Structure 1
Amino acid sequence: MGVIQKLPPSVVNQIAAGEVVERPASVVKEMMENAIDAKARRLEVSVERGGKDLIRIADDGEGMSPEDLPLAFTPHATSKLQTAEDLHRVRTLGFRGEALAAIAEISKVRCQTRRADASEGSEVQIEAGVAGPIKSCGCPVGTVMEVRNLFFNTPVRRAFLKSDSTEAGHVAETFARVALAHPEVHMTFRSSGKIVHDLPAVAGIRERIAAFFGRELAESLLWVEGKLDQTSLWGYVGHPSQSRSSTKGQYLFLGGRYVRDRSLSHALNEAYRGLLMVGRNPVAFLNLEIPPEEVDVNVHPTKIEVRFRDPQRVYSHLLSTLRQTFLGSDLHSRLQPVPGGKPTGPPTPVVEEPAPSWSPPANRPTPTPPASPAFNLDSEPADRQEIAAWFQPSRKPASPPMIPDSVGQIQPPEWSHSLPGRFEFAKGEAFNEFSSLEERRDEAPIQAAPSPAPVRLEPARPEPRREVDPVGHAKAIQVHDSYLIAETSEGMMVIDQHALHERIIYEELRKRVAEGRVESQGLLVPEPVHMAADEAAVVLEHADLLATLGLEIEGFGGDTVLVRSVPAMLSGLQPDRLLHDLGEHLATQPIPPTRDGLVAELLHMVSCKAAIKAGQKLTAEEIDALLERRELAADAHHCPHGRPTALIFTKSELEKQFGRI
């Protein structure tokens, strides 16, 4: 006799419930999506004890007929699919016909429903998968679903549920995801008899964002809009000052469905590279519209994960749209002094949410250009003459070259098939050459850095010169030997001298690497540097890459590394200190998955070490030279590590604090 047997339907449904229904929030998600599919305009969600005892969802949708009611709780019965080909063009939130059958198998369900053309409603009660007779009842048009005692017949599953407050929090998060994806539906959420959210229908999502995350965040969001063929992207992203310590503030919606996708998340983080500090994550509320045949939503039982037919195209569209938005936005950090000394976030005027139109509206205000950054690391200060020389104006009459923005800025990881090789974004003008290089050429021969395995970069498209808010150099002063205070047309600006200089050095190094002309300063006597074994191994492993940065090294036996040349514009740094810092960084920090990403990582570290430090007094000429080059730096509002370089105090806020208005 064989040992293989067909499982009873009840066991099959309980297995399906284990995949589809993880906790009460899963029930809320499935039923809310069913209500949206039924064209509901009003939706009410109520839970008791976090959904363990009761989940009640009422909608004013199309309802069901008495003939359809028992089929709704039958496995794999649905009105949303007819043939197998329909799986390749799903246009609804639900489509499998599994959820209601799985929920009814592990709970006590009562469903009341009525269509608009019916004189009375229909009701059915189901307990542990066993359905009672269909009865007539009085009820409004739509459907009311009540799920009681979830997992009552699977006590092991019920024992794994968390506390009532924790489960209620998961339900609230699920409610928020659906509410953000469908602002056109009036939604109400009650927990333990108390109204938590009562959200009227609105045209856009800004009001919904304010309801869930606060008015301050909603008013600091940046509108994002773009269209590429039949792929449309629209929504809001947060100002860099509104970052989070986790990814919980990222909401990506595809066709009205909340989704998670590693490729899209990576594109979002890459767009913010250099604008956020390490460990911080951006805030985003983005809607993606793609033809149904171009995406597969039948990947995961919860339908949260999706798979794109052309992921590279979607990745590049999201990344380029966000980057272009940032280039046309004012990303300065504005500080508003308030009573009690607590600064608030960057205020931006409350504007009406634009409708997603795929050509920019004519009345959209001209974006304000970006501004400056800030960072501070303890390190040996560079030679003062070296710093002053960096600020010398160029002797070359040629116009400043453009700075390609490819190095480490938007390089996707190698683990994804969706990742494009290069992206191009418009940038501002770069810096003039620093004449101190010519003054050093008598010290030792300068040669072009060897270029084994050069970093190839595509030139960026030029952007019209930005009108940067002028800084009154004559009125700029240094305080605490760390910050510069300058007058602007808006009020005043407090600049972190280290952060701004770090950005300038980074841009110059990045430009030289991109153009393949990093000049190296050869040492008259090569300097041996003794290092830890792991650090020596990792720097020698990346010797070719370091050579493209102007740092030529070779093994000298044991754990000793011989330094033959250093970058000419950073020759003031001690070779042993520079190599030790690079070795420690490469040995202890995660290595970026791409070559360009690693180049950017090294440039971040080198520019930070070479920049003037906090506590270092500057002369008036050095202050002027630093501020003059501020407007030439791309993304000058943040240092390469993501910290703001400047804070703006508006004139109106200052006058309010002094009681003038």
Structure 2
Amino acid sequence: MRATDPNISPNPPVIRQLNEAAINRIAAGEVVERPASAVKELVENALDAGARRVRIEIADGGKTLIRITDDGCGIAADDLPLAVARHATSKIDGSDLLNIHSFGFRGEALPSLGAVGRLTITSRSAGAAEAATIAVDGGRVGPVKPAALSGGTVVELRNLFFATPARLKFLRTDRAEMQAITDVVKRLAMAEPRVAFTLADVSGGGEGRVTFRADAGSGDLFDALAARLSRVLGAEFVENALRIDAEREGLALSGFAALPTYSRGSAVAQFLFVNGRPVRDKLLIGALRGAYMDFLSRDRHPAAALFLDCPPERVDVNVHPAKAEVRFREPGVARGLIVSALRHALAEAGHRASSTVAGAALGAFRPEGQAGGARVYQMDRPSAPARAAAWAAQAPAAPGLAEPAADWTGPSARTEAIIDAAPAPDAEAHPLGAARAQLHENYIVAQTGDGIVIVDQHAAHERLVYERLKREMAERGVAAQALLIPEIVELSDDDAARLLARADELATLGLVVEPFGGGAVAVRETPAVLGEVDAGALLRDILDELADLGESQALRARIEAVLSRMACHGSVRSGRRMGAEEMNALLREMEATPHSGQCNHGRPTYVELKLADIEKLFGRA
């Protein structure tokens, strides 16, 4: 059959050893996808050389010129030929490929760039009498020559991909390539806040136009990082971000993570680093998403710049040619650290919401836009029994989870004491102030010591009820309902084993599974709060997350989604008048409840306007 196939040559193929030029060009295809890849490799080399100042000059989106100038330790003249040889590096000794303390180490970047472009390296090492230079043109290495340079290294790459012109057809416009280079430089600048970076477009010749500059940071590491993030991501990010500083089982996490109300419509504001190396790792991205799962809707994404540091032997950075991915020896520890650290920081933030909410509100105000016709209700003071009855009427029923609504009689004794003191003059000293009025039967207006707070009563109370239901779930566990006839779900042997290994964890969430022979699993109990469940679909969702992230939040997410709906139906409705005590009780509960600054979907529950900003609206400041 095969002998008569016209597509198969009768002559057997001959195995040949590729020449050095072909090998280098193949390596370049793996390491250098576009000009931004070349910039990344060269800047990382500068940082590994101990540079404190790095200047990047680009012409025509990096297609005709990439020049990197640094003040690092330099390269000795005798070492220049080795620097452009494949698999030659000063960063490891080859005995332990997991003991990596630098950015670049594979020894492929410089020879790969020289194979597909015109590469020149000029360097002067510390103590050397003079500088030296070497050129590589399309893979052909020239001799070492003397040169003029006071110190450090200058790497110049011209006519990228001239030796492989087919690659040029896949490059984008100069503007798009320059944007990709800018993104790379900004990521590296975030990783090294004590190093000064300058990026210039020299397409027109001369000094060019500086498109990005970041001065070296001072102070402690967090001060330097905050200043650098403010320069790269904007001051608003730092103003609305939480400081992260946590450690777990030898892994350390630092950086800044934004409040849920400072979320984004895509994942463009997520920056993750492992041992200073910018990465796009699905484990870390999944952990970041999981940490915010309870605070953002599916179409919103958190903003964060996080730096994970661990002993080099516990992470393999040699799993991707461009070093964009890593593999952890204990992925569960890394993921758990990120999730727990971020959730702890979000809880510590209490009722805080992002300042951008107030900025947007002030921008929407106009002096001539008076609130004509707004219904403002004067506050009365209901009796304590009436107050208790009002709070009880707001509590949701939670079958299989919480006590009946009638048992919830209102805020705690501590909150009641605060409520009684609310009409006092010092009530304004509370973070959310003292309630003064209700507008349109939905918005509470409170006066603080230096401004006003406007609260969405329905969204705020929805979050309070939701947090209460979650606390009850954590304290009492999730009530399970036994199935009259266990549901048998057929899975592969590997999937069944993976699922049954998590049986105890799933049982705490009300899902009881047992082996049923082969790859079959018997589902005997399901969470009562979910009602009727498609057990097969649920198990497959859990398995998908286990395969993708090593952990699954699918079941917990479904339960919390039900709790969120219950909280929505059981909270204070829009359009209901509230008295002074009810409004002040809501404010005090918000102050005492973590995450109350945003509703269950990540939207703000209140806006705070400072008196100074309000006065500016009327030209009084």
Is structure 2 residue 619 aligned with structure 1 residue 649?
no
1:351-390 equivalences under 5 Å are none
Aligned residues: 501
TM-score, reference length from structure 2: 0.73
**Hey, what's the Cα distance between the residues in 1 that align with 2:566 and 2:559?**
11
Q: In structure 1, give the amino acid aligned to 2:335.
A: Y
- CA distance in 2 between counterparts of 1:306 and 1:130 reads 33
Q: Deviations over 1:106-136 (max 9, x none)?
A: 0011111111222121112211100122211
User: Quick check: 1:4 aligned with 2:12?
Assistant: no
Summarize the Cα distance change of 1:140–1:108 in structure 2 as closer, same or farther, 3 Å threshold: same
Q: What's 1:469 paired with?
A: 430
Matched, 1:306 2:326: yes
Distance in 2 (CA, whole Å) between partners of 1:490 and 1:274 is 32
- Match for 1:130: what amino acid? R
Q: CA shift at 1:43, angstroms?
A: 1.1
* 1:509 aligns with one of 446, 458, 469: 469
Would you say the 8 A contact 1:61–1:142 is kept in 2? yes
Equivalent pair of 2:290/2:553 in contact (CA under 8 Å): no
Match of 1:200 in 2: 215
| Correspondence for 1:492 | 452
- Structure 2: gaps spanning 5 or more residues: 1-11, 219-223, 366-386, 395-400, 410-417, 419-426, 481-521, 547-551
Residues 72 and 502 of structure 1: CA distance in aligned 2, closer, same or farther (over 3 Å): same
Following superposition, the deviation at residue 333 of structure 1 comes to: 4.1
Say which SS state the counterpart of residue 205 (structure 1) adopts.
Answer: helix
Superposition map of 1:44-443 within 5 A: 44-85=55-96, 87-191=97-201, 192=203, 193-203=208-218, 204-329=224-349, 331-334=352-355, 335-336=357-358, 341-342=363-364, 391-392=391-392, 436=406
Task: Name the stretch that deviates more: 596-605 or 33-42.
Answer: 596-605
**Contact 1:24/1:52, CA 8 A, preserved across alignment:** yes
Deviation at 1:629, TM superposition (A): 4.4
**TM-aligned CA deviation for residue 658 of structure 1:** 4.6
Residues in 2 aligned to 1:265 and 1:20: alpha-carbon distance in whole angstroms? 23
Closer/same/farther in 2, CA of residues 485 and 171 from structure 1, 3 Å limit:
same
Structure 2 vs 1, CA of residues 275 and 476 (structure 1 numbering), >3 Å: closer, same or farther? farther
- Say which SS state the counterpart of residue 341 (structure 1) adopts: helix
For structure 1, the 5+ residue unaligned runs are: 344-386, 395-406, 408-430, 440-464, 521-540, 556-582
Structure 1, residues 38-95: CA drift from partner, whole Å, max 9, x if none?
A: 111221100001100100011111221222111111111111222332x111011111
C-alpha contact 1:107 1:148 (8 A) present in aligned 2: yes
Matched to 1:116, the amino acid is A
Task: Provide closer, same or farther for how the CA distance between residues 634 and 202 of structure 1 changes in structure 2, counting only shifts above 3 A.
Answer: closer
Residue in 2 that maps onto 1:564: none
Contact 2:349–2:595 under 8 Å retained in 1? no
1:519 to 1:248, Cα distance in 2 relative to 1, 3 A: closer
Q: CA separation of 1:509/1:325 partners in 2, compared to 1, >3 Å: closer, same or farther?
A: closer
Rounded Cα–Cα distance in structure 1 between residues aligned with 2:354 and 2:76? 57
Q: Residues 260 and 130 from structure 1, CA distance in 2 versus in 1: closer, same or farther, beyond 3 angstroms?
A: same
User: Matches of residues 33-44 of structure 1 in structure 2 within 5 Å?
Assistant: 33-44=44-55
Q: Judging changes above 3 Å, is the alpha-carbon distance between structure 1 residues 595 and 53 closer, same or farther for their aligned structure 2 residues?
A: same
3-state SS of 1:67 partner: helix
Give the drift of 1:275: 3.1
8 Å contact 1:220–1:239 — kept in the other structure? yes
Cα 1:316–1:225 shift into 2, 3 Å:
same
* 1:230-265 residue CA offsets vs partner (Å, 9 max, x unmatched): 322222222333222222211122222111222222
Cα RMSD after superposing both structures: 3.6
Change (3 A) 1:329 1:618: closer
Write the distance in 1 (CA, Å) between the matches of 2:165 and 2:79.
31
Q: Identity of paired residues, percent?
A: 38
Partner of 2:162: helix, strand, or coil? coil
Structure-1 residue corresponding to 2:559? 599
**Displacement, 1:342?**
4.3
Conservation of the 8 A alpha-carbon contact between 1:338 and 1:657: no
Matched with 2:509 is none
CA contact (8 A) 1:232 1:288 kept: yes
CA contact (8 A) 2:31 2:321 kept: yes
- Equivalent residues of 2:121, 2:135 under 8 A apart: yes
Contact 1:391 1:625 in 2 (8 A): no
Summarize the Cα distance change of 1:36–1:17 in structure 2 as closer, same or farther, 3 Å threshold.
same
More helix by share: 2
Partner of 2:528: 547
The equivalent of 1:478 in structure 2 is: 438
Note closer, same or farther for the CA distance 1:514–1:65 as it changes in structure 2 (3 Å cut).
Answer: closer
Q: Which secondary structure does the structure 1 equivalent of 2:363 belong to?
A: coil
Shift in Å, 1:620: 6.0
2:56 is matched by which residue type in structure 1?
A: V
Q: Answer whether contact 1:189 1:195 (CA < 8 A) is retained.
A: yes
User: Retained in 1: the 8 A contact 2:226–2:238?
Assistant: yes
Q: Specify the code of the residue in structure 1 equivalent to 2:528.
A: A
Structure 1 residues 185 and 491 mapped into 2: Cα distance closer, same or farther (>3 Å)? Answer: same
SS in 1 for 2:45: helix
SS at 1:600 equivalent: helix
Q: Deviation of residue 329 (structure 1)?
A: 2.3
- Seen in structure 2, the aligned counterparts of structure 1 residues 128 and 471 have a Cα distance that, compared at 3 Å, is closer
Deviates more, 1:97-106 or 1:111-120: 111-120
Q: Kindly tell me: are residues 240 and 509 of structure 1, through their superposed partners in 2, closer, same or farther at Cα, counting changes over 3 Å? A: closer
Q: Partner letter of residue 201 of structure 1?
A: A
After TM superposition, the structure 1 stretch with the greater mean CA deviation from structure 2, 507-516 or 279-288, is 507-516
Q: More displaced, 485-494 or 201-210?
A: 485-494
Kindly state the Cα deviation for residue 482 of structure 1 after the two structures are TM-superposed: 2.2
CA-CA distance at 1:285 after TM superposition: 1.6
Hey, what's the Cα distance between the residues in 1 that align with 2:85 and 2:557?
52
8 Å Cα contact 2:392-2:407 kept in structure 1: no
Q: Tell me, yes or no, if the aligned pair for 1:390 and 1:434 is still in contact at 8 Å.
A: no
Residue aligned with 1:88, SS: coil
Question: What is residue 575 of structure 1 aligned with on the other side?
Answer: none
Residues 114 and 141 in structure 1, CA contact (< 8 A), matched pair in contact too: yes
Q: Which amino acid in the other structure matches residue 241 of structure 2?
A: L
Q: Distance in 1 between matches of 2:555 and 2:20?
A: 54
Shift of the alpha carbon at 1:175?
0.6
Contact in 1 for aligned 2:433/2:453 (Cα 8 Å): no
Q: Which piece of structure 1 moves more, 298-307 or 608-617?
A: 608-617
Letter in 1 for 2:149: C
Matching residue of 2:510: none
